[in-house]
Amino acid sequence: MTLPKLRDIAQKVRSKNAGPFWLTIDIFCGTPEAFEQVQTRLKTDAVARLYGAETQLLKRFEMADLNVVKISLPRPATQGAIDDRDMHGASWAALLAEMEL
Amino acid sequence: MVRVLVPSGALGLNYDKEALARGVAAKPDIIAIDGGSTDSGPSYLGRGVSKYARSSTKIEWAGLMEARAQAGCPLVIGTAGTCGTDSAVDWMLDITREIAAEQGRPLKIAVLRSSQEPAAIAKAYGAGKVTPLPNAPEIDAGLIESCTNIVALAGVEQITEALNTGADIIIAGRTTDTAIIAALPLQKACHAGGAWHGAKIGECGALCATNPQSGVILIDFDTDGFTVTPLADGAHATPHTVSAHMLYENSDPFILYEPGGYLDVTGAAYTALDDTSVRVTGSEWVASVDYTVKLEGARGAGFQTVLMALIRDAHYVENSERWAADIVTKCSAKVLDRLAVGPDDFTIEIRIIGKTASFGTLETNHATPPEVGAIGIVTAKTESLSQEIGKMLNPYLLHHPLTLEEEVPTFAFLFSPAEMPRGQTYEFALNHVLHLDDPMAAFALEVHDIA
């Protein structure tokens, strides 16, 4: 049995810089049902492992009125540093969208 | 009531001219536009230059100066020239003078400068007046002094000083995105939470509405809150689009820190007035005891040369990462052997586009694509060393075999020469705040009268 990926449940997952030192990922679930599924099945520590971040540094917001789960974390590399791969933090969402829940 | 017209999320992104004319006809009290951001990376701050073409900036700014003259209200740009350094402000002032001469109108221009002397910031750091924000890099006085540019982000206090000069046009250096919109409503005693919240919703132009590319929005501020109205045909603000905009580029969707306090939108209520306008009330401004402004700084981070090869041979595509790692090892050894440099003087990295260029070791999808790109990145202490190592890397990317037994392979180069010098690179060096006794202490205001 294959587990569903986040992108199979949520409508859209996007990521963006929140300043040069933070990355923020918005999960637009689309419906209250999808929101509830993401809320319960998406584990904060699993997200931290996915990005190689420390769990206690992740900020998680669940906004039922928007059906949005938002996760902010220290950027995997500071924006524009020589080890950075993504100036605008645009692609990092794909890693989460493809995570199995 | 204070009516603010926001033409777009940034000067250089263009705006809908018809919608702007509608905004001017609605008699705004001020036209406010953002001119920059850190979002395009540290090079612009490091060099003190704009990312947008001068010609585009001039055409769009001329349109806004014309709109200002028609509306008879002030026009303010924050974070002029992408990074808001004094050099970028002077670039914007120069463009403004040119347009003023062409339009033939006398003007009073206020210029707010945000650049900081690195030595002065290092001194403030020594005095405990520079403190870190979450996930700030480690700094010391030497690192601060090595920055090529440092700016402080002005808030409403400094923009208000500029407004008080009675200027027609305000060209501000680095400011928070919100300050240029919130300043006039706060000066006119509108609801403080509403002023900051409306400014945050409006700072990206019509991004808070449907048809986000159209740019132009109108925000009405009053003593209870604010109302936002996009002005382009087919653009609609809904409680969903407006409240969802607090997610955008914010690490916290409820709290926004600004000089002098923070905005809390936890209690905000969003109501549709019709199918285009949204009314927002219930946001709260919490003033802080200490007055701080955020600092941004950039410093040189070496000189880069990049090379790119395309790999289409299935055996090499499959083993591309092993191939790349072997090249880095062998080429680094050759550099140390042939040049009088140490291991700290350079780095060689090869990223495999098609496999792990986006996420590196964090990648979870290990499918094999039909082709990959190998991008070689040399970073070195000097320009000449960077180019010299780039030339040493060239033959490896062209011919390096996976094993010694096989025929020497050849890979596809896109260009001749294959080495692309990128010059000096920069890195963001500060994520800190500067504590000020007087909000104007780190800023300078000047007025230019153009006859």
pLDDT in tens, B249-273: 899 999 999 999 999 999 999 999 9
Q: Do B362 and A82 touch (CB under 8 A)?
A: no
Q: How far is CA B402 from CA B228, B325, B353, B367, B411, in A?
A: 61, 11, 18, 20, 13
Three-class DSSP category at B186: helix
Least confident interval from A74-88, B134-148, B211-225, B391-405: B211-225
pLDDT, average across residues B276-300: 97
Task: Please check the confidence at residue B118 and state whether its pLDDT lies above 70.
Answer: yes
| Global pTM value | 0.96
Beta strand pairing call for B30-36 and B346-353? unpaired
A-B contacts at Cβ under 8 angstroms? 105
In angstroms, the CA B109 to CA B68 distance is 13
Task: Please check the confidence at residue B80 and state whether its pLDDT lies above 70.
Answer: yes
Q: Which residue of A has its CA nearest to B357?
A: A85
Three-class DSSP category at A47: helix
pLDDT, average across residues A3-19: 96
Nearest to A98 among B304, B365, B431 (CB): B365
- For B62, the token pair is 């001329």
- Mark A39-50 as b/e (b = at least 16 C-beta within 10 Å): beebeeeebbeb
Task: Please check the confidence at residue A69 and state whether its pLDDT lies above 80.
Answer: yes
Interface test with chain B among A14, A24, A28, by most B beta carbons within 10 Å = A24
Q: Do A22 and B135 touch (CB under 8 A)?
A: yes
Instruction: Answer whether A80's CB lies under 8 Å from A20's CB.
Output: yes
Contacts of B190 (CB under 8 A, 6+ apart): B1, B2, B221, B222, B223, B226
Q: Do B428 and A21 touch (CB under 8 A)?
A: yes
Give the model confidence (pLDDT) of B364-390 as tens digits.
Answer: 999 999 999 999 999 999 999 999 999
Instruction: Answer whether B164's CB lies under 8 Å from B110's CB.
Output: no
pLDDT, average across residues A63-87: 96
Three-class DSSP category at B407: coil
Quickly count: other Cβ atoms within 10 Å of residue B315's Cβ: 12
Per the DSSP assignment, residues forming a β-bridge with A24 are A16, A72
Residue B249, chain A, CB below 8 Å: the answer is yes
Write phi, then psi, for B153 (nearest 5 degrees): -85, 110
C-alpha atoms less than 13 angstroms from C-alpha of B358 in its C-beta half-sphere: 17
Nearest to B137 among A65, A76, A78 (CB): A78
Helix (H) or strand (E) holding B446, with range, is: strand B444-450
- For B385, the token pair is 């060393």
pLDDT of residue A29: 97
Q: Do B251 and A52 touch (CB under 8 A)?
A: no
Structure ipTM over 0.90, yes or no: yes
- For B251, the token pair is 């690490």
Q: What percent of chain B has pLDDT over 70?
A: 100
For residue A79, which residues of chain B lie inside 8 Å, CB to CB? 38, 41-42, 428
Quickly count: other Cβ atoms within 10 Å of residue B410's Cβ: 10
pLDDT of residue B29: 98
First vs last C-alpha separation in chain B: 32
Residue B301, chain A, CB below 8 Å: the answer is yes
Q: Do B431 and A86 touch (CB under 8 A)?
A: no
Strand order in the sheet with B261-264: B255-258, B261-264, B284-287
Task: Please check the confidence at residue B308 and state whether its pLDDT lies above 70.
Answer: yes
What are the residue ranges of helices labelled H in B339-430?
383-399
Find, among B185, B158, B261, B250, the residue nearest to B6 by Cα.
B185
Interface test with chain B among A75, A78, A92, A101, by most B beta carbons within 10 Å = A78
Instruction: Answer whether B149's CB lies under 8 Å from B172's CB.
Output: no
Nearest to A66 among B41, B243, B249 (CB): B243
Nearest to B427 among A81, A85, A95 (CB): A81
Our CA-based measurement puts residue A50 at a distance from the nearest CA of chain B, in whole angstroms, of 7
pLDDT of residue B227: 97
Residue B146, chain A, CB below 8 Å: the answer is no
Contacts of B257 (CB under 8 A, 6+ apart): none
In angstroms, the CA A75 to CA A51 distance is 9
Q: Do A74 and B135 touch (CB under 8 A)?
A: yes
- For B221, the token pair is 């501020």
Interface test with chain B among A12, A14, A71, A85, by most B beta carbons within 10 Å = A85
Nearest to A26 among B247, B252, B427 (CB): B247
Q: What percent of chain B has pLDDT over 90?
A: 95
Nearest to A79 among B363, B425, B428 (CB): B428
Q: Go through chain A and tell me how many residues it has.
A: 101
What DSSP character marks residue B175?
B
Nearest to B39 among A17, A63, A99 (CB): A17
pLDDT averaged over chain B? 96
- For A39, the token pair is 């809320």
Task: Please check the confidence at residue A1 and state whether its pLDDT lies above 70.
Answer: no
Q: Go through chain B and tell me how many residues it has.
A: 451
pLDDT, average across residues A68-92: 97
Residue B38, chain A, CB below 8 Å: the answer is yes
Nearest to A66 among B41, B42, B240 (CB): B240
In angstroms, the CA B280 to CA B422 distance is 47
pLDDT of residue B209: 85
Q: Distance from CA of residue B101 to its chain's centroid?
A: 30
Write phi, then psi, for B65 (nearest 5 degrees): -65, -35
Give the model confidence (pLDDT) of B183-232 as tens digits.
Answer: 999 999 999 999 999 999 999 888 888 877 778 999 999 999 999 999 99
Q: Would you list the DSSP string of B237-249?
A: --HHHHHHGGGTT
Our CA-based measurement puts residue B300 at a distance from the nearest CA of chain A, in whole angstroms, of 10
Q: Which residue of A has its CA nearest to B294?
A: A19
Q: To the nearest 10°, the Cα dihedral for B52, B58, B61, B67? A: -150
At B107, which amino acid appears?
L
Interface test with chain A among B359, B375, B432, by most A beta carbons within 10 Å = B359
Our CA-based measurement puts residue B371 at a distance from the nearest CA of chain A, in whole angstroms, of 20
Q: What percent of chain A has pLDDT over 90?
A: 97
Our CA-based measurement puts residue A70 at a distance from the nearest CA of chain B, in whole angstroms, of 8
- Burial degree of A56 (CB within 10 A; 0-12, 13-18, 19+): exposed
In angstroms, the CA B318 to CA B227 distance is 57
Q: Do A18 and B250 touch (CB under 8 A)?
A: yes
> Crossing angle of helices B54-71/B86-103, nearest 10°?
60
Residue B140, chain A, CB below 8 Å: the answer is no
